[in-house]
Structure 1
């Protein structure tokens, strides 16, 4: 049996929106007529099953044998051509199988498939004239903050001005000092930065908003539908509240709350040809738990015909484990010198095909400042990581790949989202939902303090001015894929096995996962190499 047959079976299953365990793939590939076997397995799959098991495949093969020539035509492909008029999927499916667009009702199939990594190498042919990579929002070489109080004031003023512009057209905004002069009972609206949130003795919510002129309180009644939106609010984010002034004019009774958000009808860009990008993060070379063999299986796969369209590799931070990132970290290091860690990472990059375009941004384990925005690596580290002449940028950055805007952000603020928001809005098990919140707030790190370290700059580099087509993060070592207002959200897992710390907090990492993004359709296939 040629090694390419299992790969062909997997691709055929994927085209119908199905995954299969390894034994099931082997059974299908070993069948006398693999095409008929795949068709029968897909045709007889229960409606609620997306991963075919060996038991199901055996039953399908028995059906073929018993029918002795029964119709085995391949059924129509409904998974790859979803009904765009279908109602929204309001509860994400398992992100290792599929992900529904919670906000537009346009479900998109995403499958996890095993991949052949040996015996299928071929000579890649890439037309480099078709390549196009542009980077925007890079702080590298532009940092001006000195840490003075005035610098922090300047960055928050800039945040307010840019985000308030996205809200002023939606409400009849009045500055806080103008509200103080208005008569009670009038309709009123204010755009402000959330300065305080507290509950009243009656269980209502009092939200204090601040603009450049002062502060003004808004009361959100607990029995109003909008009360649940208070649970989504974070300090320091910019929102709009509209309602009516109290009789004494000292408070707004809130009727509506607006976030800067992404337009529901946002139109995404796609590439003009079929080309793919592998999105990975959190490699953690230097850790005793680095999944080196799995990484080599991944890079070997990149040399196969199955990966011939993968021309870009985007790595969203934490190339190495780092040194001194947390107490007693040296006891868990395989490489204790930071420069040797990067040299080892560079050796791992050499395994990637030489014609793959690589983009790197740092994370919180990398040898750059912890405060965000993080500049790209210094010249010494760039010289070490010069394999394939990668594009090195800061965290965050917007990387435009053949017309597709990919917002790359390592993702430390996801910790803040999980700590502050309800579980159905942000959790480590579904990190893409936290990414939805960041898009809704149009800021990758809306709350200052806590887990976040923010560097004051002449402007706020963490504001999401332009809506991306793809939002790519890492940091939390969990796979999460979804779509928010047509923006594809991908948290790409990791290449580090479970650490002692993760055991202590009961986090089971998604190791050796490589989401493969079709730049012409924005569909995703996750390859697992563990």
Structure 2
């Protein structure tokens, strides 16, 4: 029986113990009888080869006898076989509004505001990428660097490091004086302070008192309710770093705040772009092992990655939750298709083999993965790395800064988004617009500012969760909602999931956006969203 799609060809090769170059799969898929061609390629491949190359396929095709065109019809270009699918939905309203293209129906819309040069479109000659042009670097990987023991001194070190890093971002805006020095000043003087938010409380009159703590002590700051900056108080999270300026009261016991500053992304931030037309696919929350894992949608996604339409996608970034995990939430075992955690990773690895073998893949863990829950999360251990070795992925910690051809992409799974959404007003952060919660993290320059809440944070010598470098792209997952937008030119993307609604999600009123793949042009930072569900 003929093999009809590239992903089926890949699965057939994997079952025979081979990986394959993307162009090799495309060549096989474009022949009159892909099944016969595949069998011939496997038979002619040297016994010690583990990878089918395009040259292997060309040798077979060159030696094959010519066929009578009237005896069999070609199967058509890769990916031409389409399945019916609903039109894309307007899933997110944001600063940028790329189209959602239904990949199950062959829709091929271009991003708004983008004109793709002719040389960037598929030429019909197959996918032949020069991997020597690629560049992938990972920073802030703390795998193997954990020093925390849970002792008191560890907590002091991580908060001191947080304060030092974030206060540097604010010192250019205020003339900071330590809290201890301000407490010794005379009443009525102007004062400016940088500190971590220790407490926020309201007065009987409806004003706000914000206690700020630095390395010398804590000082109370009063924000009057009729001030324009009073709205900023609604955005504050405990333990984030801010700066204030104002005037001391008559007895110098409190600072009347006139202005409030956040570390923030500069409004004139200039993003980096790649020097050539190249794309990255951003996905997360695959959840293999769940009864609700959408295998058919994944197959369609893998099929599409082998087509010429996706030929410029050279990077695949997966922001955590490769598997469903075990014991993550109450009665989860009743919703598992694969019970054993290692079997889940084995199954995930098989699905990963379906994507083109020449993709550069980067993966970070999430809260469903078999790593510690406390953030920062180190990358997977050696046993799990061996299981997930298909296509030799780069595995790094959560979070990590990944630089693709000069473009800085901050990958963070996103557990703290739950906390931000719970603490802030709905117009500032919500599950329907997860990118707005991401804006708040960019504003605070920290991926998980609040300590002691639902987000588990590990005390280390360094605070790996500070955004010391402004990213060009901020990529998260976790909340199973699709959302995107630009904040001070930084593209924020929450990439949805590959898991249909579970009973647990129904109980907490989560309606997931499943089966989507945001595709980013690294040369322009324009984005399209492909739909595979």
Do both proteins adopt the same fold according to a TM-score greater than 0.5, normalized to the shorter chain? yes
1:322 Cα offset (Å): 0.4
**1:434-449 to 2 correspondence within 5 Å?**
434-449=437-452
- In structure 2, the residue matched to 1:88 is none
- 1:260-296 deviation per Cα after TM superposition (whole angstroms, max 9, x unaligned): 0000000000000000000000000000000011001
Q: Is the 8 A contact 1:122 1:303 kept in 2?
A: no
- In structure 2, the residue matched to 1:527 is 530
Equivalents in 2 of 1:183, 1:302: separation in Å? Answer: 67
1:179 is aligned to 2:182: yes
Q: Is the 8 A contact 2:505 2:511 kept in 1?
A: yes
1:181 Cα offset (Å): 1.2
1:326 Cα offset (Å): 1.5
1:114 Cα offset (Å): 1.3
- 1:455-481 deviation per Cα after TM superposition (whole angstroms, max 9, x unaligned): 111100000000000000000000010
| Cα 1:400–1:231 shift into 2, 3 Å | same
- In structure 1, the residue matched to 2:225 is 222
Which one of 514, 519, 526 corresponds to residue 516 of structure 1? 519
- In structure 1, the residue matched to 2:38 is none
1:413 is aligned to 2:416: yes
Which one of 93, 98, 113 corresponds to residue 101 of structure 2? 113
Q: Is the 8 A contact 2:265 2:470 kept in 1?
A: yes
Which one of 298, 312, 329 corresponds to residue 295 of structure 1? 298
Query: Which SS does the other structure have where 1:99 is aligned?
Result: coil
Equivalents in 2 of 1:450, 1:176: separation in Å? Answer: 26
Structure 2 segments unaligned to the other structure (5+ residues): 1-74, 107-121
1:341 is aligned to 2:344: yes
Query: Which SS does the other structure have where 1:157 is aligned?
Result: helix
Equivalents in 1 of 2:151, 2:105: separation in Å? Answer: 53
Query: Which SS does the other structure have where 1:481 is aligned?
Result: strand
| Cα 1:213–1:396 shift into 2, 3 Å | same
1:505 Cα offset (Å): 2.0
**1:208-357 to 2 correspondence within 5 Å?**
208-357=211-360
Q: Is the 8 A contact 1:117 1:297 kept in 2?
A: no
Q: Is the 8 A contact 2:363 2:396 kept in 1?
A: yes
Query: Which SS does the other structure have where 2:425 is aligned?
Result: coil
1:99 Cα offset (Å): 2.9
- 1:42-66 deviation per Cα after TM superposition (whole angstroms, max 9, x unaligned): xxxxxxxx98xxxxxxxxxxxxxxx
Structure 1 segments unaligned to the other structure (5+ residues): 8-20, 25-49, 52-93, 101-107
Query: Which SS does the other structure have where 1:437 is aligned?
Result: helix
Query: Which SS does the other structure have where 2:301 is aligned?
Result: helix
Query: Which SS does the other structure have where 2:156 is aligned?
Result: helix
Query: Which SS does the other structure have where 2:361 is aligned?
Result: strand
1:487 is aligned to 2:487: no
**1:394-405 to 2 correspondence within 5 Å?**
394-405=397-408
Which one of 79, 94, 111 corresponds to residue 99 of structure 1? 94
Equivalents in 1 of 2:504, 2:432: separation in Å? Answer: 17
Q: Is the 8 A contact 2:363 2:395 kept in 1?
A: yes
- In structure 2, the residue matched to 1:207 is 210
Equivalents in 2 of 1:476, 1:334: separation in Å? Answer: 21
1:116 Cα offset (Å): 5.0
Equivalents in 2 of 1:116, 1:183: separation in Å? Answer: 70
- 1:362-403 deviation per Cα after TM superposition (whole angstroms, max 9, x unaligned): 000000000000000000000000000000000000000111
Q: TM-score, normalised by structure 1?
A: 0.81
Query: Which SS does the other structure have where 1:287 is aligned?
Result: coil
1:325 Cα offset (Å): 1.0
Q: Is the 8 A contact 2:85 2:104 kept in 1?
A: no
Q: Is the 8 A contact 1:364 1:370 kept in 2?
A: yes
Equivalents in 1 of 2:399, 2:229: separation in Å? Answer: 32
Equivalents in 2 of 1:265, 1:277: separation in Å? Answer: 25
Q: Is the 8 A contact 1:322 1:365 kept in 2?
A: yes
Equivalents in 1 of 2:504, 2:279: separation in Å? Answer: 35
Q: Is the 8 A contact 1:374 1:395 kept in 2?
A: yes
Say how many residue pairs are matched.
443
Q: Is the 8 A contact 2:79 2:303 kept in 1?
A: no
- In structure 2, the residue matched to 1:387 is 390
Equivalents in 2 of 1:521, 1:6: separation in Å? Answer: 26
Equivalents in 1 of 2:253, 2:133: separation in Å? Answer: 61
Equivalents in 2 of 1:268, 1:382: separation in Å? Answer: 33
1:95 Cα offset (Å): 4.6
- In structure 2, the residue matched to 1:426 is 429
